[in-house]
Amino acid sequence: MGNIKKVLVANRGEIALRVMKTCTKMNIKTVAIFSDADQKAPFVKYADEKIHIGPSPSNKSYLNQDLIIKSAIDYDVDAIHPGYGFLSENFEFAQKVIDAGLIFIGPSPVAIQVMGDKLSAKKTVSKFKIPLVPGLDEEITDLDLAMNTAENIGFPILIKASAGGGGKGMRIVHHKKEFKQQMERAVSEAEKSFGNGAVFIEKYLEKPRHIEIQILADQYGNVVYLFERDCSVQRRHQKVIEEAPSSVLSEKLRKEMGEAACKVAKSCNYHGAGTVEFIFQDEQFYFLEMNTRLQVEHPVTEMITGLDLVEQQIIIANNQRLNFSQSDLKIKGHSIEVRVCAEDPFNNFLPDTGVIELYEIPQGDGVRVDDCTYQGAEVSIYYDPMISKLIVHANSRVEAIQKMINAINNYTIYGVKTTLPFCKFALNHPDFRNGNFDTRFVNLFIEDFKNSFSSDLVMDAGLAAIFKLEKLDAINVSYLPSKPNNWKNS
């Protein structure tokens, strides 16, 4: 392994820009790849060099493994950073990068492969006496055996795709009579989504928290945990709000979960940054899976530890030792992140597309926006609908919640519907404020959210005329300032 002097970022959007900013801080040159849809994107302008990688569809651009590696070689790159999503957890891509004589900024292909399959991950960590959710921890080939197992552990049970993620290939079964039909649906969806129809079953915990542990591991066997993130506010098994630390963990449980996460990393000889996900209920935690990449919600960990996780990834990829130990790490204050997505929370969080007509981000001490958009940018159909991540840090959870609400009030996005109204509602909800919530939060309170806006809609045709907008969205107008700083009467 040599010293990394130039990195190609095999990704797009806010995470590409995020990685590049750390590279610049470390005096590392950056190379961007971009599709037709991203020609004007800020991450492309920021990079030292840029390569047009193909048409807008990701399977013809950001997923083109061989062309990405060829481009890296042509541009004399030392390493490739995959970001998250796309090829970040593709062990074959990681191996190709290494075979080409380049550094893959991430774990080994073997670790990615082992942890990328939920069943193989469970088998690997089971040797280390890490708690697992009761169930059938092998691919279901015998429906009668699966049914007997389900009856033994008791309904409701959860059918899960072995190769899955994002809630695909996942079905909750409440009664025996639903089992066969839901099994068929899960297998079918898993095959369509992942090319792998393998599924397994486990006990469905009805009121769990989703708590994950951030770990760092160097190539010399040193592993540390950077405490936890609570990601329990989700829709369709995808996160909406994340915070660190969790409001429900005692110091004893925090230590136990952190040490368990380190064991998971050691079980597959892991190196790099990774996240071990657990579900937590009734003071018990159970291993869920390991994400072998940087997480979307990594900024909250950075806020409470003062560490730059991308910098640590690069240090580890450079074959350097971690320069701190577990005892050096302390939790400093509280951090919250909301994902700002172009989705309509009034219509089952369906993705929205369009041109961002007005865009102003909040600023201030302890307020961070990770984005890669601008006024006039198009939110297209080709990629994930996340526009940005809004993160705050304060001395306490109460202060962080209020700071986030203030930041949302000063975040202006017009032209597409966003998740900001729901995030503000959630932060104001008594159950969120007192920490009494679980992964059912969105389903339990979505109707209350919709009803809460019935008397608060603001319509301002004059403002619409100023911005030459054909249609005014009542919900988003509530987040427009009365006198925008950058409005032009033209």
pLDDT of 489 strictly over 50: no
| CATH code for the part of the protein at 209-452 | 3.30.470.20
- What is the average per-residue pLDDT within 131-144? 83
Q: What pLDDT sits at residue 454?
A: 56
- How do residues 217-255 score in pLDDT, each as one tens digit? 999 999 999 999 999 999 988 899 999 999 999 999 999
Cα 22 from Cα 27, distance rounded (Å): 9
DSSP H helices, 268-336, are: 298-305, 309-317
Q: Which residue has the higher pLDDT, 126 or 278?
A: 278
Residue 113 has pLDDT above 70, yes or no: yes
Instruction: Report CA-CA distances (Å) from 300 to 293, 296, 373, 388.
Output: 16, 10, 21, 14
Contacts of 383 (CB under 8 A, 6+ apart): 12, 13, 37, 58
**Average pLDDT rounded to a whole number, residues 396-403:** 98
Residue 472 confidence (pLDDT): 43
Cα torsion angle, 44, 50, 56, 62, sign: negative
Confidence of residue 165 (pLDDT cuts 50, 70, 90): low
CA distance 233 to 431: 11
Active-site residue flag, 293:
yes
**Do 134-203 and 6-105 have the same topology in CATH?**
no
Instruction: Give the model's pLDDT for residue 146.
Output: 82
Q: What single-letter DSSP state applies at residue 132?
A: B
Residue 429 has pLDDT above 70, yes or no: yes
Lowest mean pLDDT among 103-107, 111-115, 472-476: 472-476
Residue 32: beta bridge partners? 9, 50
Enumerate the β-bridge partners of residue 389: 339, 370
For residue 271, which of 302, 316, 325, 228 has the smallest C-alpha distance? 316
Confidence grade of residue 164 (pLDDT, cut at 50, 70, 90): low
Return the amino acid letter for 296. Answer: V
User: What is the model's pTM?
Assistant: 0.89
* Check whether domain 134-203 has CATH 3.30.1490.20, yes or no: yes
CA 249 to chain CA centroid, nearest Å: 21
Q: What is the four-CA torsion angle of 414, 417, 420, 422, rounded to 10 degrees? A: 150
Tokens of 234: 């989700």
H helices present in 154-228, as ranges: 179-194
| Mean pLDDT confidence for 37-45 | 97
Under a CB-based contact definition with an 8 Å cutoff, are residues 81 and 10 in contact?
A: yes
Q: Omega into 156 within 30° of 0, i.e. cis? A: yes
pLDDT at 166: 66
Mapped onto helix, strand or coil, the DSSP state of residue 448 is: helix
Query: Distance between CA atoms of 372 and 449, rounded to whole angstroms?
Result: 29
Q: Which CATH class is domain 6-105?
A: alpha beta
User: What is the reported pLDDT for 478?
Assistant: 42
What is the distance in angstroms between the CA of the first residue and the CA of the last residue of the chain? Answer: 57
* pLDDT for the residue numbered 47: 98
The predicted-structure confidence for 193-222, as pLDDT tens digits, reads as follows 888 888 888 999 999 999 999 999 999 999
pLDDT at 487: 35
pLDDT in tens, 80-96: 999 999 999 999 999 99
Residue 471 has pLDDT above 60, yes or no: no
Which of 293, 339, 368, 397 is catalytic? The answer is 293
- Reported as a pLDDT band with limits 50, 70 and 90, residue 135 is confident
User: How many Cα atoms are found within 13 Å in the side-chain-facing hemisphere of 384?
Assistant: 20
Helix (H) or strand (E) holding 251: helix 251-267
Q: How confident is the model at residue 102 (pLDDT cuts 50, 70, 90)?
A: very high
Q: Delimit the domains of the chain by residue range.
A: 6-105, 134-203, 209-452
Average pLDDT taken over every residue of the chain: 90
